[in-house]
Every structure is written in C-alpha cells, then in structure tokens.
Chain A
C-alpha cells in the first residue's frame, strides 16, 4: 500500500474510533462523510446521513438567529463556529452538544468543505443543572430563618411595638449580631459551594485595579470606623487588567478586611502594592497587625482554621475567607497566593494573577460579598 493510502487508512481508523461526532459536508451543507460515533450519539447510521443536508435527520428547532449566525460565521466570515446546540436522537430524545464547525479553504480561499465535530454533553449539563438547583434551594432554605430573625428583632428594636428598656435593647442587639454572623457564614459556605462545584460565573472585563482597591478601602474604613494609615504603591503603568471585577472585589475585600480587623487599636498601617510583574498582576497587602502564629501558618488556608490570637480579637470570624480566596485565585484565576507573617509584628499577603488567563465562564450563579 502506498504511504498516502496508509496515512488515509490511519486517519479513517482514528476518525471512526473517536467518541465525538465528525461530519464533513460540502459548502452547501450536504453530508459527504459521517463517522461511526454519529450512530452512537444520534442513533442514525452514518450512511443514513450521507447525501442529506447536515442535521436534517436530528435537527431540533434552535432559534432562527442561531443558524443565521452559524452560517454567517462559517460561510461568509470563513471562521470557526463554536456553540452549544440541542439535537434530537432517532428515538426522539433531545440531547445537548457542543459543536465546532471549521471551514476548510482551497488555495483560492474558497470554502471546499466544512468539518463539524460534535460532543454530547447532555450528562454534564444535567449534573450542572442539579448542582445549580441544589445551590438555589439550599441558599433559599438556609437564608430564610435568619431573615425572619433579623426582621423581627429589628421591629422590636425600633420601638414600633412599644418601648423597650436598656437591658432588652442589649439582648436584642446580641441576637441581631449573632444572626448577622450566621448570615455571613451561610454566604461564605454558599460561595465555597459555588467555587468547589464550579457553578459560579466569571465575566472578565478590563478594570482599573487601583479603583477597586480604593473603593474597598473606603468601605472598610467606614465599616470598621477606625483610623488606619493607608500607603498605596500603585504602578502608574498598571493600566487596566482583564479580570472579573465582582470576584476581584471579593478577593481584595477578604485580604484587606483581615488587615483592618487585626490591626493595632492605635497606629494601624496598611501598605498596598499593585503592579505588573513577569506578565502577571502582582498585589501585596502588608499590615502591622497581630500576625499569624507559626503553629497555624501551614493551615491558614484551610477551611474553618482561625488562630487563637485572631479569635481573641474578633470572635465573629467564619474561618472560611482565606480558604475561599485561595480557591478562587488558584482554580479560578490560575494564580498564586502566599504570605509572610510574624506574630505581633504583622502579615503581608502576596497575590499573583497571570494576565490573559481569565476566560469567560458561563456559570449560572454569582459569588456574593460576605
């Protein structure tokens, strides 16, 4: 057998044995080849598809605009089309697939044929939907009792139902505060569930990191109501960075709020650095707070870990913030987070996020600020 024939045989063998549908059509969409996987996925034998318009057998009515966009991309723009599509198997069952259609051009740049590769993602979609439904229901069920406690406590505190004495007011304040802690824990746990299940949305856009940091500093200064000296080292050439602003706010707020919370009562200082370094966004937050004791430093990014000195200063912390931040930075952003700390001297957190790594992720839920 000639080498070219051997190669062809090899490629045909490969195509016939992969699990994804592969269909080749002429420029008008008439099928000239369909691999064996077509039958596994759709129920139709390859020979039933050859000679017919692509998708004639298994097409379900996607919106008209979907097909218009698809044909415009592959035929007029001569670019690869990638999208999600719903089709119908021979037994009538609807399935969801990710499809990629590539135009193949001849020497004159005219479309010679289209190659379509389709992967059945129905099971993954069902699992994702189940996860989302669980998170939605869990979110609703978990938040309802603290919402009730909050509103009823607030009503009593307001005096709307009659005056309350000082002791009653202080007890109600404790109930309200404990309830707010519960809400914070619930929000943190829901965020972590979304991060671990991968159901959260990432919508990167060009943002001014300095602005995000400054807004969070303003909020925290008001929330903690204390004097903190802030030193900013923002590289003036930093410009805008492509990142999901909502998620970035959550990361920065978690790190900065620790610096505010655990800073000394007098003379608190926080130094914030933001610059590009080796193709990555580099952030550091240095404080002169209580520091992290050596014996817990290797566990500080674990769930529910809080150092004793931190608990003494702030009994209300959830022990979930740094765990979530690390998960987001490493798994969501492809970055790194590390720190240096000495007890009673202070802590510096370092974050590095590579540029151009963050891609839009079509999750269905958003992380919330806790």
Chain B
C-alpha cells in the first residue's frame, strides 16, 4: 500500500451524510486520521483549531459556503496559506469560483459526479508528493 497518506490528518467538509461517510471511510482505509464537518462554520472552526494536512471541501453547505471557508482559511498565516484544499462539489465552476481558484495555487476543483473515489485519493496523494512551498 502507498504510504503517502498514512497518518495524514484530513478534514472533510461535506453536508451530505452519505458522501461524508464514503469519503471518511475511504480516507481512513488509506491510513488517514479523518475529521468530518457537516456545515461551513463547523468546518472553519475545526480547520483553524486542528490545522489538518489537507481539506476536502464541498461548496454548497449550510451556515457558510465552501468558498467563504476557503477564503478565511487562506487568511490564516502560515499553515492557512499553503494547506492543500480539494474543492469537491457538484456546483458547476462558474467564473467567480474559477477566478478564486486560479489565484490559489494550493486549491483543486473536482466535480464529484466526474471523479471516482480512488481518483480523489490519488489527487490527495499528489498534494503530498508535490507540496506547495510555504510562502513568506
């Protein structure tokens, strides 16, 4: 088994219980330590408190949407600027979303209906194989 993800701390922000369950189970099987959040506010609070190694982020969530969570995470110094964020959503990438992501080198946009679970895991692995350098 590829050891890249073993013991990596993953935060999954996803309001759809079945999808949260599928992602949590999959990443746990890869050896990750997984925390889940079912709304944007909880996701932001957990992110700031635990500083996970990677965040899987839905966009349409109650209380705070994923793009707002991303923006606030990136406002955090150090860790917040470089933590890889995989935006995992079924919301089409409109101009506003793409403009935010293009400027954010550590973010990736994946349409859930187009990506298999093992491909999402592989994308996460690539984040640690090719880490973004910490910006000053």
- Interface of A toward B, CB cutoff 8 Å: 132, 135-136, 139-140, 143-144, 146-148, 150-152, 154-155, 158, 160, 183, 186-187, 190, 201, 364-366, 368
Contacts and interface: CB of A to CB of B under 8 A. Distances in A.
Nearest to B26: A155
A269 B36 CA distance: 52
The 6 closest A-B pairs by CB, nearest first: A143-B90, A147-B112, A143-B113, A151-B22, A148-B18, A364-B94
A194 to B, nearest CB: 9
Contact of B22 (A148, A183, A365, A366): A148
A190 B19 contact: no
Given A132-B94, A147-B113, A366-B92, A140 B118 contact: no
A368 B19 CA distance: 23
A201 B117 contact: no
A147 B94 contact: no
**Main SS at interface, chain B:** helix
B13 to A, nearest CB: 15
Contacts of B19: 144, 147-148, 151
B49 interface: no
A143 B112 contact: yes
A201 B90 contact: no
B103 interface: no
B100 to A, nearest CB: 14
Nearest to A187: B113
A62 B116 CA distance: 44
Interface in B68-109: 89-96
B96 A364 contact: yes
Contacts, number: 63
B29 to A, nearest CB: 6
B74 to A, nearest CB: 22
B16 interface: yes
B122 interface: no
Contacts of A132: 94
A208 to B, nearest CB: 23
Contacts of B113: 143, 146-147, 150, 183, 186-187
A135 B93 CA distance: 12
Contact of B95 (A144, A187, A201): A201
B46 interface: no
Contacts of A187: 113
Contacts of B94: 132, 136, 364-366
B42 interface: no
A160 B92 contact: no
B22 A140 contact: no
A187 B96 CA distance: 20
A150 B110 CA distance: 15
